[in-house]
Amino acid sequence: MDRITPNTKLTCLLGHPVSHSASPAIHNASYHAAGVDAVYLAFDVRDLERAVSGLQELGAVGCNITIPHKEEALRLATTLSEEVRLIGAINTLKFGEGGVEGYNTDVNGVLRSLELLDIKGVGEALLLGAGGAARAVVVALRDRVSKLVITSRSLWRAEGLATMASELGFESLAVPWERRNYFVERAELVVNATPVGTYGEGMPVDASRLQKGCAVFDLVYNPPDTPLVKAARRAGCRALGGLPMLVRQAAESERIWFNIDPPEEVMMRAAKRFLGVENEGDGEG
């Protein structure tokens, strides 16, 4: 897209806050490269229902949903994808004459990261966090992990997610946040689905207790190499930040909205430019 016209299609992000989001940079670069006459904006909204209604009236194609509205969006959708039914959260809406379609593209983003880390048959994994992103991780780990240990600052949320994992066929265990480092020593895979490490601040676990050769996946994407990722690599672990997940889930949204094959390399470069790391690696190692 070279310029906005009355025919330009609208897509956007709805959340609170959204000023930190790389999504507009990622999607607009993709639209330009793919020749899609569309624009992507970010709106800081508190009343999700009114925002979605307004977008429908404006003729928007669809939108992404982020914190804190992913669960509330469930009641606004008329149809739900299988992933949404399993996770209980929506991150993508598509508007049409038939109503509002609800999707969750986070699962595909997690699966892309697991492929890059070569995660297949894992005995025991440790999942840090029990929010919407963690639920997507649980769904993606089906058939790849035998036992899943889940910890969160909210034990009751970890217990709820452990119940969900059990229903999906995992041997699962919820443990208090204070005991997480004990389970780090046993884990073949550690997944951080908390915000700890964003902007390079803090570490969710004691990385010195990681066992050599384990895999570490940090969903935090800013910075692309978080303190946990860097420490894990120093410890001899395979480690990956959240940037590939971010790009893949964004690409899946565009497939839903426009039925195209988005240029993911362009999207990755745009994300890295936004984060100020365009001269670093590919974000996938």
State how beta strands 79-80 and 99-103 pair: parallel
Q: Nearest 5 degrees, angle CA 161-CA 164-CA 169?
A: 130
Catalytic residue among 70, 94, 230, 272: 70
Is residue 70 part of the annotated active site? The answer reads yes
Structure-token match 């790391």, residue found: 277
Closest Cα to residue 180, out of 219, 160, 153? 153
The helices-and-strands tally (H runs, E runs) of the chain is 10, 12
- Residue 13: strand, helix, or coil: strand
CB 124 within 8 A of CB 187: yes
Query: What is the helix, strand, coil percentage profile of the chain, to 5?
Result: 40, 20, 35
User: How remote is the C-alpha of 169 from its chain's centroid?
Assistant: 22
CB 142 within 8 A of CB 169: yes
Catalytic residues: 70
